[in-house]
Amino acid sequence: MYKVLIVDDEIYAVMGIKSGVDWEALQVSEIYEAYHLSAALKVFERTAVDVMICDIEMPKGTGIELLERVNDISPETETIFLTAHANFDFMQRAIQLDGFDYLLKPIEYDVLKSSVARALESVRQEREMTELRTRYDETWNKRKGLIKEKFWNDVLTRRIICTPDNVLKILREHELVSLSGATFLPVLVSVESWMREYSTRDEEMMEYNIRKAAEEMLLSTGRGEVIQTKLGVNVVILFSPEDGEMKEGALYNRCMAYLESCRRYFHCTLSCYIGERSTLFEIGGIYQKLLEMEYGNLNKSNEVYRLARSNPPLSKNESSPSVIQRIQAYIAEHLHEPITREQLACFVHLNPAYLSRLFKRETGESITDYILRERMEAAKEMIRDSSIPISDVAKALGYNNFSHFSKMFRKVHQASPQQFRRKWV
């Protein structure tokens, strides 16, 4: 639906236009009226106007003067001028101001209706173009963000091998020529533990919030990227960090403030590992060193480390298969008990964040999802192979809330426990 404003110093002219045109057929829902320039401008202050029908010659400001103001405050409004005189100067100025049409009084209402219809069609097309541009911009920005994230993932993991000779070519290919000659300072942000129990989806949302907070608090100059690598690690990359950011304590203090904010608002403990200023073809090596620092940090959390100053001693982690097998065996033996990531990490003497990434990399699912699936598989077998009441099955697997147990069972098996038992009885 559209809105029309009629501006004329003659009240009968306004009334005639309002009653002489079939506005409903034009899908016009609201018609405003004004009798001089300042009154018309007040209408624009209150609402958006799609088409303005305006007399040119008015005593308290001409229609031309009004259009000059309207073009500043509402450039999308189409204007149809009315005049009793075919004044070439007025007509020329109206064209210069991008007036939509110029009609002579007395107005034939069918002619006016036709002009308004064409003006509204122009408004509709412009709206569609604006929506298309908006959607295109959103799609492009999203795609651009994905391209950037993939680029940095490939650089950090050395899938893209940058050298002094090919770096400019690589930046051109990824539309990042502005980074030519820049230096980079990576900061690895490791989520060590959650202070509240979250679902997998909630954890993902919280990690997104953690990255947004890093953009605000760690990218002080606004130049940089915050990405999540394919290992699930969050990395802040400062572009061409200023000397002030490298001074003793400057970035460290920002990281400490960031850790405290995340602890307070997102209920988690983190650690930050600050790298060294590097070129594009050196940053992959710095990132690997930061990963080694994080992997070797078994016990401490909510700390800030610098690669050059306080590299924690590396531990000799067990090979992935033996760690995963021990974790899976532990889970199988303790399905009836609450099991936390921190508890499992303590069992195998690993950093909780590292254990989560290791487990997902080796099994393809998160620890939380694995525990749920194992519990529901055990529940399925008990329901199918015994006559134990379903409420007792729930209790045997550590669920005191039967409703929650049923919800989790349905989530995994797409059927309620009762439906599953009826199927097998």
At 73-93, the pLDDT tens digits run: 999 999 999 887 666 666 667
Residues 398 and 337: beta-carbon distance below 8 Å: yes
Q: Using alpha carbons only, how large is the chain's radius of gyration in Å? A: 34
Mean pLDDT of 343-351: 81
**Residue 120 is encoded by which pair of tokens?**
């509204």
Positions of CATH 3.30.70.1230 in the chain: 167-306
d(CA 300, CA 194): 14
- The pLDDT score that the predictor gives to residue 92 is 66
Res. 310 pLDDT band, cuts 50 70 90: very low
Res. 342 pLDDT band, cuts 50 70 90: confident
Long-range contacts of 376-379 (CB under 8 A, 24+ apart): 376/408, 376/409, 376/411, 376/412, 376/413, 377/412, 378/335, 379/405, 379/409, 379/417
More confident residue, 198 or 187: 187
Flag the least confident range among 184-193, 294-303, 312-321: 312-321
**Residue 29 is encoded by which pair of tokens?**
């829902």
Residue environment code for 182-196, b if the CB has 16+ CB neighbours within 10 A, otherwise e: ebbbbbbbbbbbbee
Inform me whether the pLDDT recorded for 231 exceeds 70: yes
For the chain, how far is it from start to end, CA to CA, in angstroms?
60
Question: Model pTM?
Answer: 0.52
Mean pLDDT of 229-257: 78
Sheet of strand 184-194, all strands in order from the earlier edge strand to the far edge: 224-228, 234-239, 184-194, 268-274, 304-306
Which residues are bridge partners to 372 per DSSP?
none
d(CA 78, CA 117): 11
Residue 304 gets the label, from left (phi > 0), alpha (psi -120 to 50) or beta, of beta
Mean pLDDT of 191-196: 80
d(CA 234, CA 291): 11
Domain at 167-306: CATH code: 3.30.70.1230
Topology of 2-128 in CATH? Answer: Rossmann fold (3.40.50)
Does the N-terminal peptide bond of residue 106 adopt cis geometry, omega within 30 degrees of 0?
yes
The DSSP call for residue 407 is: H
Positions of CATH 1.10.10.60 in the chain: 320-424
More confident residue, 418 or 98: 418
Mean pLDDT of 41-61: 92
Inform me whether the pLDDT recorded for 351 exceeds 70: no
Inform me whether the pLDDT recorded for 384 exceeds 80: yes
More confident residue, 59 or 87: 59
d(CA 408, CA 24): 54
CATH number for 320-424: choose from 1.20.1250.20, 2.170.190.11, 1.10.10.60, 1.10.3720.10: 1.10.10.60
Positions of CATH 3.40.50.2300 in the chain: 2-128
d(CA 281, CA 176): 15
d(CA 290, CA 127): 50
Name residue, tokens 């499992």.
Answer: 344
Which residues are bridge partners to 101 per DSSP?
80
**Residue 123 is encoded by which pair of tokens?**
């408004």
